[in-house]
Amino acid sequence: MRKWIVPALCAGLLAAACSGGSSSSHTTGGQGTAAPPTTKVAKGACPVGAVVASAQKPVQITMWHSMTQANLQTLTKLTDQFNSTHSDIHVNLVNQTSYEDTLTKYKAVLAGGQRPDVVQIQDVDQQLVIDSRSTLPAQDCITGEHVDTSDFVPKALSYYTVQGTLSSIPFALSNPVLYYNKAAFTKAGLDPNTPPATLDELRADAQKIVQTGAAKFGLALKDDPWHLEEWSAMAGSLYANNGNGRTARATAVEFGGPVGQQVYAWLAGMARDKLAESTPFTGFDNLLAIGNNVAAMTIDTSAALGTIFAVLATGQYKNVTLGVAPLPGPVAAGPTIPAGSSLFVVAQTSPARQEAAFTFAEWLSEPPQQAVWAAGTGYMPVRTSAVSLPALQQAWTARPELRVAYDQLTRGANTVAAQGPVIGDMEGVRTAAENAETTLFHGADPVSTLKQLVSSANSVISDYNSRVG
Partner 1 sequence: MRGRKVLQYVLLMAVAVVVLFPIYITVVNSLLSPDTIGHRPPVLFPTHPHFGTYSTAFHEGHLGTYLRNSFFMAAVITVGQVITSVFAGYAFAMLRFPFRRALFITFLSTLMIPFEATVITNRHTIVSLGWENRFPALIVPFLATGLGTFLLRQAFLGVPRDLHDAARMDGYGHWRFMARVAVPLARPTIAALAIFSFLGAWNQYLWPLLVTDTDRLRTVQVGLRQLEGTSIQQINVTFAGTVLAALPIFALLIIFQRQLVRGLTAGAVKG
By CB under 8 A, residue 287 contacts partner 1: yes
Single out the residue of 97, 186, 211, 462 in contact with partner 1 (rule: CB under 8 A): 97
Options 28-36, 253-261, 313-321, 402-410: segment touching partner 1 (CB under 8 A): 313-321
Single out the residue of 76, 81, 95, 207 in contact with partner 1 (rule: CB under 8 A): 95
Looking only at residues 33 through 72 of this chain, which bind partner 1 when binding is defined by CB under 8 A? Answer: 66, 68-69
By CB under 8 A, residue 159 contacts partner 1: no
Bridge partner list, 181 = 322
Single out the residue of 17, 111, 248, 398 in contact with partner 1 (rule: CB under 8 A): 111
Smaller CB separation from partner 1, 6 or 34: 6
By CB under 8 A, residue 13 contacts partner 1: no
Q: Which residues contact 199 (CB under 8 A, 6 or more apart)?
A: 231, 262, 263, 266, 328, 329, 330
- Residue 50 CA to residue 374 CA, distance in Å, equals 31
By CB under 8 A, residue 18 contacts partner 1: no
By CB under 8 A, residue 151 contacts partner 1: no
Smaller CB separation from partner 1, 73 or 397: 73
By CB under 8 A, residue 118 contacts partner 1: no
By CB under 8 A, residue 317 contacts partner 1: yes
Options 99-107, 188-196, 219-227, 389-397: segment touching partner 1 (CB under 8 A): 99-107
By CB under 8 A, residue 215 contacts partner 1: no
Single out the residue of 252, 294, 332, 468 in contact with partner 1 (rule: CB under 8 A): 294
How near is the Cβ of 227 to partner 1 at its closest, in Å? Answer: 22
- Residue 373 CA to residue 387 CA, distance in Å, equals 12
- Residue 350 CA to residue 343 CA, distance in Å, equals 18
- Residue 169 CA to residue 341 CA, distance in Å, equals 9
Single out the residue of 13, 16, 108, 447 in contact with partner 1 (rule: CB under 8 A): 108
- Residue 60 CA to residue 245 CA, distance in Å, equals 36
How near is the Cβ of 177 to partner 1 at its closest, in Å? Answer: 17
How near is the Cβ of 376 to partner 1 at its closest, in Å? Answer: 14
Single out the residue of 3, 272, 274, 411 in contact with partner 1 (rule: CB under 8 A): 3
Q: 67 and 118 in contact (C-beta within 8 Å)?
A: no
> Which residue from 175, 115, 77 is spatially nearest to 371, judged by alpha carbons?
77
By CB under 8 A, residue 217 contacts partner 1: no
Bridge partner list, 123 = none
Smaller CB separation from partner 1, 123 or 229: 123
By CB under 8 A, residue 10 contacts partner 1: no
By CB under 8 A, residue 6 contacts partner 1: no
Smaller CB separation from partner 1, 291 or 428: 291
Single out the residue of 98, 194, 388, 462 in contact with partner 1 (rule: CB under 8 A): 98
Single out the residue of 60, 261, 307, 435 in contact with partner 1 (rule: CB under 8 A): 307
By CB under 8 A, residue 85 contacts partner 1: no
Options 94-102, 259-267, 365-373, 383-391: segment touching partner 1 (CB under 8 A): 94-102
Smaller CB separation from partner 1, 288 or 416: 288
Give the chain as a 3 state SS string: CHHHHHHHHHHHHHHHHHHHHCCCHHHHHHHCCCCCHHHHCCCCCCCCCHHHHCCCCCEEEEEEECCCHHHHHHHHHHHHHHHHHCCCEEEEEEECCCHHHHHHHHHHHCCCCCCCCEEEEEHHHHHHHHHCCCEECHHHHHHHCCCCCCCECHHHHHHCEECCEECCEEEEEECEEEEEEHHHHHHCCCCCCCCCCEHHHHHHHHHHHHHHCCCCEEEEEECCCHHHHHHHHHCCCCCEHHHHHCCCCCCCECCCCHHHHHHHHHHHHHHHCCCEEEECCCCCHHHHHHHCCCEEEEEEEHHHHHHHHHHHHCCCCCCCCEEEECCCECCCCCCCCCEEEEEEEECCCCHHHHHHHHHHHHHHCCHHHHHHHHHHHCCECCEHHHHHCHHHHHHHHHCHHHHHHHHHHHCCCCCHHHHCCCCCCHHHHHHHHHHHHHHHHCCCCHHHHHHHHHHHHHHHHHHHHHHHC
Smaller CB separation from partner 1, 66 or 302: 66
Smaller CB separation from partner 1, 308 or 371: 308
Single out the residue of 314, 442, 443, 466 in contact with partner 1 (rule: CB under 8 A): 314
Options 16-24, 38-46, 291-299, 440-448: segment touching partner 1 (CB under 8 A): 291-299
Looking only at residues 417 through 436 of this chain, which bind partner 1 when binding is defined by CB under 8 A? Answer: none
By CB under 8 A, residue 284 contacts partner 1: yes
Bridge partner list, 135 = 346
Smaller CB separation from partner 1, 62 or 369: 62
- Summarize as ranges the residues that interact with partner 1 (CB under 8 A): 1, 3-4, 66, 68-69, 94-95, 97-98, 101, 104-105, 108, 111-114, 284-285, 287-289, 291-292, 294, 307-308, 310-311, 314, 316-317
